[in-house]
Structure 1
Amino acid sequence: MRVGIVGGGAMGQWLRREIGKAHDVLIYDVDKSKSDVESLAALVEWSDVVLVAVPFWDTAKVLDAIAPTASGRLVMDIATFKEGLAEVYRRFPPDAEVATVHPLFGPGASGIRGQRVLVMEVPGRSGAQRAFEFWRSLGAEVEWGDLSKHDYYVSRTIALSYAVGLALARLYSEAGEEIVKYGGTSFKYLATYAFSLLRDKNAQRYAERAPLDEFMKALQEGGDLGRSLIDPDVAYERFYKALECIGDIFKRE
C-alpha cells in the first residue's frame, strides 16, 4: 500500500518511519527539504491512503486542497482538535473515503504497536472502518471515538494539561533555581512535565483551548472533590514508580 503523509514535522517524520515498516511512504511538506515530492497534488496522485499530519489550525486548509483529487483514496487527519473538519470532508468526492483519527501519543513513543488510536466516523461519509483496520494492522490499540464529543474531552485533557504545565513552568522559572531545594515529590513530577512542554513551540496554541473558567471554578469550590476515576491508593503507588523512572532531573552532571 502507498501511504502519503502531508506534514514533515516531528509527528509526520515519526509516522513515516513507523508506517514505512509495513508500507511504501512518501512525505509532502511546504519545506522542500523535508519533501519527497514536488507538490501536494503529486503526493495525492501517488497515494492509496493520505494522512494529514499538520498542526490542527492548518488541517482544514490542507484537506480543502486535497479534496478535488481525493477520488478513490482514503484520507485521514490526525488533528488534535476537529472543529470544522466534518464540513470540509463533506465536500470530498462521493468515491473518496474519509475518517478523522486521533493518535493518543506523540513522536516520543517507541513505536505504533500497543499505542492507543481513536478513529471517528465523519457523519454521512464512508471510510472509518477502513481507517480502523489500517491502524489495527500496524499494531495499534484502536478504539472508536465520537466526533461530536471529541473536542469537549480533548480540551479538558490535552489542552488543560498544557495550560497548567505552561503556567507551572513560568512560575518555577520566575522563582529561580533555589526552588529545587524546597521541592518535594510532587514538584519533581510536575516540573518534569512542565519543562518538557517548552520543547514544543506550539504548546501555547494547545493551552489556549483549555476551559480555564471551569478549572478555576473547580479549584475554588473545595469541599466534595468528586468521584475518583481510579483508586487513589493505586494512583499513589504508580506515582512513586513514575518518580523512580524520572530520576533526579535536577542533578548536575
Structure 2
Amino acid sequence: EELATESDLVIVATPIAETPKVVSEVAGLMREGSLLTDICSVKEDVVDVMKSVKTEAEMVSLHPLFGPGASDLRGKDIVAVPVKAGKAYRRLKARLLDMGARIVEMKADEHDRLMAVVQCLSHLTVMSFLFTLSSLREFLTEDVRTPMFSHMLLAGKALLARDPDLYGEIQVHNKYASIVRERMLEVCRSLDVALSAGDAKVVEKKFSEIGDMFSKGERDKAYMLLYKLFEEEQR
C-alpha cells in the first residue's frame, strides 16, 4: 500500500480472477498524475472496475501479447484499453513505441473477442494436439518427423514451459472462449463425418472456402519458412 501511494506507475500482475479486486484496492491509494495499469489477459471485468472506481490516478489496461521469452520489445504487440488516460499514459506509450513496441488501442469487449481467437483458439489447438498425442504413445514406435509435426511439437513444448493455470483461466474467464471452442468442435465433427464416409475431397473443398484468407505469396512464404526452421533444427 505504501508503494502504491508513492509510485508514478503501478502494474498489477495477478491471476485473472484476482485482478479486478486488486485494481479496485490499489486505485484509491494512488495520487494524481500517477498511472495504474494491469497486464491481465481478459479485459472486460477489470475495465469495468476501472470505470467505476474513484481515484486520482490515470488508468489504462494493458495486455502485452508476448511472454518473458521476449528479449526486447521490437515488433511486439501491446494492446491498450484506455479508461482514464492523460500525460502519464502518453509518456509510457511514447517510451514503449521508442523501444519498438506496437501499441494497439481498443475497447475491452473488442479485446476479449479478438483474444478468444488469438489466444483461446491457438491454445486450444496446441493443447488438443498435445493431449491427443499423449493418448497415442503406443503409435510412436520410432522418432521420425515431418516439418509440420516438428513445428507442432515445438509449439506444444513451448506451451508446456509456461503456467498451465494461465491457459485454463483464459479459457474460463473470456466469455467468448466457449463460442470459439464450440466452433472448433463443429469443424472437427464435420471433417470426421465426411472423412469417415470416404469423402477425401472435403479437404479440397475446405481449402477453397478459406482460400481468400491468405494470398498465394503468403502461403508460399509460410511453406518455405516452415522448411527453413525444420532444416535449422537438424544442424
Q: TM-score, normalised by structure 1?
A: 0.71
Q: Which of 12, 18, 31 is matched with 1:58 structurally?
A: 18
Q: How far apart, CA to CA, are the structure 2 residues paired with 1:194 and 1:137?
A: 33
Partner letter of residue 214 of structure 1?
A: R
Q: Partners in 1 of 2:39 and 2:13 — Cα distance?
A: 6
CA contact (8 A) 1:67 1:93 kept: yes
Q: Which of 30, 34, 40 does residue 79 from structure 1 map onto?
A: 40
Aligned to 1:234: 221
Q: Does 1:70 align with 2:30?
A: yes
Counterpart of 1:218, as a letter, is V
Larger Rg belongs to = 2
Structure 1 stretches of 5 or more lacking a match? 1-40, 249-253
Q: Tell me, yes or no, if structure 1 residue 212 matches structure 2 residue 186.
A: no
Q: Residues 74-132 of structure 1: CA distance to partner in whole angstroms, max 9, x if unpaired?
A: 0111111112122211233353101111111110011234422222222xx22454442
Q: Partner residue of 1:147?
A: 108
Map 1:71-220 → 2, pairs under 5 A: 71-72=31-32, 73-93=34-54, 95-122=56-83, 125-127=84-86, 129-176=90-137, 179=140, 181=143, 183-199=145-161, 200-202=163-165, 203-208=167-172, 209=174, 210=177, 211-219=180-188, 220=190
**Cα deviation code 1:194-230 (max 9, x no counterpart):** 1321222323333445321111233427534323245
Q: Is the 8 A contact 1:162 1:204 kept in 2?
A: no
Count matched residues. Answer: 206
Q: Determine whether 1:45 maps to 2:5.
A: yes
Q: Hey, which of these two has a bigger chunk of helix by percent?
A: 2
Q: Provide, for residues 2-34 of structure 1, a one-character-per-residue CA deviation record: whole Å limited to 9, x for no partner.
A: xxxxxxxxxxxxxxxxxxxxxxxxxxxxxxxxx
| Distance apart, 1:182 and its partner CA | 5.0
Name the TM-score, length of structure 2 as normaliser. 0.76
Residue type at the aligned position of 1:61: K
User: Structure 1 residues 162 and 207 mapped into 2: Cα distance closer, same or farther (>3 Å)?
Assistant: farther
Deviations 1:163-213 (A, max 9, x none): 121121111122227525454221111111113212223233334453211
Read off the aligned partner of 1:204 and give its amino acid letter.
G
Which structure has the higher relative contact order (CA within 8 Å, separation 6+)?
Answer: 2
Say if 2:120 and 2:170, in contact at 8 Å, map to a contact too.
Answer: yes
Structure 1 CA distance, aligned partners of 2:98 and 2:56? Answer: 23
Q: Percent identity?
A: 25
Q: CA 1:183–1:139 in structure 2 vs 1: closer, same or farther (change >3 Å)?
A: closer
Instruction: Give the gaps of 5 or more residues in structure 2.
Output: 192-201
